Structure 1
Amino acid sequence: MPDDLHTDPSKLGALLMATAGRDAHAFRALYDATSAKLFGYALRILRKRELAEEALQEGFVSIWHGAAGYHGHLAAPMTWMTTVVRNKALDILRRSVAAADGDAVPFDGDIMDAMQDSTSGPDGQLQLSSDAQALARCMARLEGLHRQAVGLAFFHDLSHGEVAKQLALPVGTVKTWIRRSLEKLKACLAHGGLR
């Protein structure tokens, strides 16, 4: 197989379609071409090798079972697979955080780390106002995909259609998730991020 397979969407798409037909050789080729990149992505989220390996394994199980649901016109193959692995990583993170202390999953690791870092100077503290901290706490309480949809729409300035394409979901689902999430955020923020 060529070294550039992981960068060629048409080849990855063909492997996904073959995987949908339960072609084990195509699935193996897909794994070989993408697993290193997807593992690195999971590792950035989870920061523990064993958890990243678990996310990768669960992700590829989902890819095997869900390949027939992949639609090339909605997302590039690597984008779709990254979303699958990312969701598995977030599920694992949510489970591990809940098991550790019952708290919600952080909305953004860097923001949450900075908020909890007592050594950050006055400039850092000014940058993260109490409103930003409350928003981060409220965002952390949203479900993983709902939080991702809101983040893409408002922090990355994507339209509902673009968010739907990025997440490989119907536009109606994305609109509903964003509307409900905004309602939850509004209620949470009304209580100072403590709800």
Structure 2
Amino acid sequence: MFIQTEPTPNNDSLKFIPGEPVMGQGSAEFLDARQAMKSPLAKTLFQIDGIGGVFFGPDFITISKEPTAEWQLMKPDIYAAIMDHFSSGQPIVFNADELAASDTAIHEDDSEEVQMIKELLDTRIRPAIQEDGGDIEYCGFENGIVQLKLKGSCRGCDSSVITLKNGIENMLMHYIPEVEGVEQIIGEDEAVALQEFDKLEQKLGEK
């Protein structure tokens, strides 16, 4: 197996391309070792020092490291873990159907606007973001605001906010007049991490 790597806009995230289907369809993200218990490969990757996040796309794996970790030291172990997994015959995730349930699937009770938003996200926006090793998750549409969650390399990337506002927001507003803006949704795990980071910054600033 020859695994290619590609940089992403986030210096702390790398895209690994094994040359074989990963999720096939849908995506899955694991932000700590506890979440990684749902995936044999993610579980193994989180045993490597410095791993901060694992994201599975259709045909790629985006791995995010902690800011102090070094890719040079981590890459050999990451390559070995990926190759060992694909040769083992184990599934990528234990419940693939649940994880692959698409956030952009059209439902009967979706309004015309929501159907158009999901269609644009799926056909125009998601492929471009996956090129950079990330993904988006549709979370809702309320009072003219489309709620999205950034995943993979997009998470914690400085340019992701610009992408969200300039790229995604402009496209959705252009095609769907009812859309007035885009809002980034931050999960509980991310919110806690951000709070801890802010506390650390405050302590360092006081010294």
Q: Which has a greater percent of strand?
A: 2
Q: Which has a greater percent of helix?
A: 1
Same fold (TM over 0.5): no
Structure 2-normalised TM-score?
0.34
Structure 1-normalised TM-score?
0.36
